[in-house]
Structure 1
Amino acid sequence: MIWKNFFAVAVVTLVSSSATWASEQPSVPLKLVVGFPPGGGTDGAARIVAEHLPKELGRPVVIENRGGAAGTLGAQSVLRSAPDGNTLFFGTSAELLINPITRKTAPYDVLKDFMPITEVGSVAFVLVAPSASKIQNVPDLIAKAKDNPGKLNFSSFGMGSTNHLIGEMFVSTTGISAAHIPYQGSAPATTALLSGDVDFTFDTVAVMQPHIKAGKLIPLATPSPHRVSELPEVATLTELGYKDLTAEGWMGIFAPVGTSEENISALNKAFQKVLERPDVQSQLAARGVGIAGGSPEKFSKKLVEQSEKWRRVAKESGISLD
């Protein structure tokens, strides 16, 4: 009986503390920083989530776009903020994990300098080739690469980007030779692919799907652990026999290191409620984001695993932004 009473008091105290934290700051807006300009994929996802946060937090929420240096300037601005739960970062694997890994002097360490609140969701990629290339599947691509050693190339939306590393992992695992051509963003990389200047690429399903539907690009496979709901007929690379070729991007919410556990817990609860909304899930799904959610501990474990994986890929590929 004593333990039951103790547990009940603990639960009431936790709930009361979380409620008190939210109610003490009704006039202080929660600032959600995005490291990219308005209108992009990350910004769009952040706004979908932010729309419903005021109801859960009982205070305003504003999006602050701080673009530059591939998203790292926005992340650094959050690190310089007071760890009071009023400034958070809506970030992705690209600027938080992969960019620092590919630098000799990293701007920060996501495992040491940020406190994860929750993972928003995973971002699926797809391997595509121009329809005019007559490459219809992965064996076709590999055969063409081996018949033309050193002549094929693949694009990415930036040196050290997520799809750059996925491309390098594909080249290494399949044993082919292909040159990497970085572009300043997904739009010019896609234009080069459509014009035939590039032989293949990995890009997000949300960006590639319109061109696939238009018949301009052929989806060859996805590196996701399971088939992507938007492209159910497209096999995964795992299904094709490449069990180590799995990769996805992710989006998540982070606070500056030093933020209290009380704040982290209250914020996690608010984001969970938003991510459980069917309308939010459908809107994010339309952008190629598969809802994840979960505890800070669950997200932290994923970050450790992802860090080890991409460090290995970057080292084996010799990628460095310095």
Structure 2
Amino acid sequence: ELNGTIVNNGTIDGAFNGVSFANGGTSSGALQNFGTITSASRAVNIGGQDISLQNFGEILTSASPRDGVVYTDQSALSYSIVNESSGLIDVGEGNDGDAISLQLGADVTGSVINRGTVIGRGVPVGNNRATAVRLRQGTNTDLSVFNGDIVNEGTLTSETDAAVLIEDGVELNGDIINRGTINGGVVAGSPQVGIDVQGAEGDVTIVNQGTINGDVLLSAGNDTYDGIAGTVNGTVFGNEGNDTLIGGSANDVLNGGVGNDLLTGNSGADIFAFGSEIFQDGLQDFDQITDFEAGDAFDFADEFLGNISFGRETVSGQEAVVAILGGEDNLTVFGNLDAAEQAFNAFV
């Protein structure tokens, strides 16, 4: 147990780890970095409980990191990672790996707050991905639960991967909150994905009050994307489950995927997309658009073309356009009904 704080104002350079809290064991303590912590493998390793990392300086690797520049092993029970506005956590140009990688045990209490700059680089190699923030399941655990939020108020960037990634077998008992900028796949030719939680267990909530450059890929649960105060330059894809997708004032692309989804575009010229997965799942989906406006549009997969019927009905006391897609899926549209009918006519 460290009953105090390690404060670095200079340079810590380790061949294997720069700073390590209980690698696979137990410990507690705090680390404040105002200088530089670097390693050829892993700059900061966190295990144990009640660990606090606060970075005002630079945390770097001089070669491709071992699992992450900042890495929590699955012995870590509780911790907070805060990268302040002057802070940089960077894999390093020419290297491959994750900037912040959390390998989780069965039940972890933690938080990740970024106010500075976090950069994942290169391509996925071995155990490494190339994310800014990654949550991964621990070994020999049926489910890894992370109790806490991931908050970005600065910049999270990945060169070729999702900037934020939650992998299979991980449940986030908290929210992903963006008040800054998230950049996914900034290298030309890379998939542009800002946030990827497709593998996450349970329901995921994302609150976007900043800018996400890249797609947002949600999980198979009943997810919520609240972008009313933000911008996403990409598609918000609900995947499976009964999702709620809320756009902002920009031109959003909302695709609920499979399930009974609630879509709200708000202002801007929004696109409501319906892909082939809805047609192919063999289930009757009931989707709803709350606020179709002039300038909004539909984007239907080829399977629906020529197989859409629609008309006006009263739904819950309000007039709406109700459409049958592909003979089985139901879409109810509120808002500017004349504009909705005109948009439907392009696909009938």
Structure with larger RCO (C-alpha < 8 A, sep 6+): 1
Q: TM-score range by the shorter chain?
A: under 0.3
Structure 1 or 2: more strand by fraction: 2
Q: Which entry has the higher C-alpha Rg, 1 or 2? A: 2
Normalized against structure 2, the TM-score is what?
0.20
